[in-house]
A and B are shown apart, each in its own frame.
Chain A
Amino acid sequence: GENVEQHPSTLSVQEGDSAVIKCTYSDSASNYFPWYKQELGKGPQLIIDIRSNVGEKKDQRIAVTLNKTAKHFSLHITETQPEDSAVYFCAAAETSYDKVIFGPGTSLSVIP
């Protein structure tokens, strides 16, 4: 079955700097890669997703890249703000409505 790895497990950045989280997946059948942000006591909230027919997608300060050949995908957050502090999960699935396999998470701290 699918296995998703994620690095780093913790990340601390100064406000205004960029943050990068990297993930790998194992199952070539995966075509959908969502990223979720989880705040304490809340459920995961989708922040951006990318499909295998696209190499890059951007939404304001957030961008994701996908290298399907290498089975790598990454999240880039620019101009970080304290409210970006949370746990971020990368994930993979065959489609957006199939079971989603999550990575172990990255705890991001943005220092004011």
Chain B
Amino acid sequence: DTGVSQDPRHKITKRGQNVTFRCDPISEHNRLYWYRQTLGQGPEFLTYFQNEAQLEKSRLLSDRFSAERPKGSFSTLEIQRTEQGDSAMYLCASSRTDAGNQPQHFGDGTRLSIL
């Protein structure tokens, strides 16, 4: 497989701007996850999809955050009106539920820096 792909790898933007990240999961993986990782901490769960359905959202996912997976393949995570506290690494992972106990595979993330 080609692995989980995330784009862009780095994003620098001014406070108040909107940003959108893309994640392409491993093909045939029906679950897709978003996590956020701040410096020196472990990843924190944000949300996940099974196919195109968003099944769970963390309370960390404020109203300014929205995630979609319109065709059950790639996903986008949008942050509106960015704030300094949004600076973090945004990680995407994917797995499958139809082939036994398969682990989550992570991409290399999008690092967001808010000026």
In this assembly, does A45 line the interface, its C-beta being within 8 Å of a C-beta of chain B?
Answer: yes
A-B contact pairs, 29 of them (CB 8 A): A32-B101, A41-B108, A42-B108, A43-B4, A43-B91, A43-B107, A43-B108, A44-B43, A44-B91, A44-B106, A45-B106, A46-B104, A89-B43, A95-B101, A96-B101, A96-B103, A96-B104, A97-B31, A99-B48, A99-B56, A99-B58, A100-B33, A100-B35, A100-B43, A100-B104, A103-B42, A104-B40, A104-B41, A105-B40
Contact status B42-A104, CB under 8 Å = yes
Q: Which residues of A contact B (CB under 8 A)?
A: 4, 32, 34, 36, 41-46, 49, 51, 89, 91, 95-97, 99-105
Closest to A6 in B: B42
Min C-beta distance of B49 to chain A, whole Å:
11
Chain A residues closer than 8 Å to B31, beta-carbon distance? 97
Known: A96-B103, A97-B96. A102 touches B42 (CB 8 A): yes
Chain B residues closer than 8 Å to A45, beta-carbon distance? 106
Q: Which residues of B contact A (CB under 8 A)?
A: 4, 31, 33, 35, 40-45, 48, 56, 58, 91, 93, 95-97, 101-109
Chain A residues closer than 8 Å to B101, beta-carbon distance? 32, 51, 95-96
Min C-beta distance of A26 to chain B, whole Å:
15
Chain A residues closer than 8 Å to B35, beta-carbon distance? 100
Contact status B97-A97, CB under 8 Å = yes
Chain B residues closer than 8 Å to A89, beta-carbon distance? 42-43
A97 to B56, CA, bound (A): 12
